[in-house]
Each structure stands twice: as structure tokens, then as C-alpha cells.
Structure 1
Amino acid sequence: MRQKLIPRSGYMSPEYAMNGIFSVKSDVFSFGVLLLEIISGKRSTGFYNSSGDISLLGCVWRNWKEGKGLDIIDPIIIDSSSSTFKTHEILRCIHIGLLCVQERAEDRPAMSSVMVMLGSENTTLPEPNQPAFCVGNGSFEAQLSKLGDNEWTANQITLSVIDAR
């Protein structure tokens, strides 16, 4: 049986998942995850891709930083003949989603601001910071680098994935 570290945060904000603290910014985080799931056509839990990303948020962030935001869009959205979306509108939604899932609650916009951002193309969007639960150069990766080869948990919780033969 092989053990893996698999983030299962789903729609939970980091402050709630780690410390049990809930606020209106927790809802903003959940909305951002949902928005990015819709755009990508992928679930945030159990996410895996061939690029080695272990979370949907990490995948979206990496592509955004590399200027490849269009690569995460679900092909059904692009190929749909009934779609009235333009690529710049979808990229704006990705941008807004990333603003909603920033690691620090105080960096996330209020839901009323999110609604204004979604409703107006004239609103200037700030640059997002790295999302929560994104293995990259955050403190989570630093914790993992301290672990030995046979250890796969940063919080003393082990998740076993059982594969059938």
C-alpha cells in the first residue's frame, strides 16, 4: 500500500481548514474555487495532471504565471457553438477566481467587489498573489522539504490510497 500526500481542502478556506476561523472571506474563497472548477472543467479535490500539479489551484496559478491561462479552460467552453464567451472574458474570470483564492483572507476581495468585477469590464483588477494550498514556494513546500523520503504528511495525518490489483 502506497501513501501519498493529497490535499483535500475542497472549498474550505485555509484559515478555516487550519485554524477553524470562518468569515465572509471564507465564502469568497469557496466561490473562487467554484469559479475555477467551472472554467477548467476539473474538480478541486482529487486533482492530478501530467505536469505534476497536485491541486487545481496550483495548476491554474502555474499556467497564469507562465502566461498560459487559456490552457486551463475546459475545451467544451471553447468549442461550444452556443458559447458567447470571448477569451478575454474567460481570462478575466480566471483572474477574478485567483483573486478569490488568495492565501491570506485580507488579500481577497469582498463578495460585493467580486460582483462588480464580474459585471464590469472597465474595473481594473489587481494582480493576484499565490493561492492557498498551492505547492510552489510557500511555507507548505518548506515543510514538505524537511520530511524524509518515506514520510508524506506535513500535519501528522496520513491518507492511504488503496489501488485495486
Structure 2
Amino acid sequence: MFRVQVWDDDANHYVDVMLSFDQWGAAGFRHAQLGDTSAEYDDPGAAWRDAVDLQERFGDAIVTLFDTSTGERHFDERSLPEVGADAIEASAAPEIWTDDWIIQRAVRIRAASAGGDVYEPWPGYTHPMTRDQAVKALEECEERWPEHEFRAHRLRLEEKVAADAIDRARRSVRSRKYD
């Protein structure tokens, strides 16, 4: 079973969605609410078709397929199992994620009861680095820009995947501009 999910920036995770359709395919989505039947498919091809429709219509959305039987997320159809394929044949070697860190600057300092502090990636320090590199970069940032507050932030899997998808989308937009 596959679910179409969309990244929710406010919640900082993927959410199940309900889809709306027109004559050309999936035309819109909204967050699935308690009691809703989310967009679920037995056929990964049909699920991917609707996910691609959403991605094309909502270029800033990060759309994924969540395989409920394995717990894997699929961001392109190359990693989807084929219908009727043996699970061993269909599964690719899992991608290994290492500990990656980036430097962020405090945008707004708030009390924990008000939702906590808000940080944004600091330009020039957004490429993933090791913990040791992040400590050195943090010291450099604090020395160069003492008027700002910084932190070294360990990227979670969802953030890494979202950042990768955003980078791919930006590259595709840039390449379309020059065609």
C-alpha cells in the first residue's frame, strides 16, 4: 500500500493528503483530517502518476510516496517496486545517511512556551558537514559576525531529503530558464 504525502513546513514532517482531481489528473490536495481516507494506492504506478501530477502543479511542494509495508519513502519512480516483482529484486540497496551538520542563525528568540527559538540556515554554511567541521564553522561564524547568534544544527533524515528535493527543484528551474 502506498500513500501520497506532502512535506508540511509548519509541522516539520510529511502529512497524508486527500487529493482532488480534474480531467487531467490530480489537481489539488489538502491535509487528511481524522476520519478521512488519505490518498492510498495498491498500484505504485498509479500512486506515482498522481504524485507527479501534484509535483507539476505545485512546484514548491515536496511530494513523496510512503510505502506502508516497508516504511520507505520514494522520491522518484526508479526506487518504486514493480507490480508483481519479487521484493528482493525490487528493493535497491538502502542509501546510507551519515551525520550531517549545518550552521544556522537565530532569527527570533522566544520562550519555550511560545514555541521556542526560530533559526534559519546561514548562507555559505548550508552544505552538510561533519560534526568537527561544524564546530570549527560555528567558531568562525561567531568570530566574524558577533552580532548574530548561531548554532550547529544536526540534520534529520526528513530535512536532508527535503533539502535534496529543494535543490533538485531549484536546479530544474534554473535549467529551464536557460533553455
Global fold match (TM > 0.5): no
**Alignment TM class, shorter chain as reference:** under 0.3
Which structure is richer in relative contact order (CA contacts within 8 A, separation 6 or more)?
Answer: 1
Greater share of residues in strand: 2
- TM-score, structure 1 length as denominator? 0.26
Greater share of residues in helix: 1
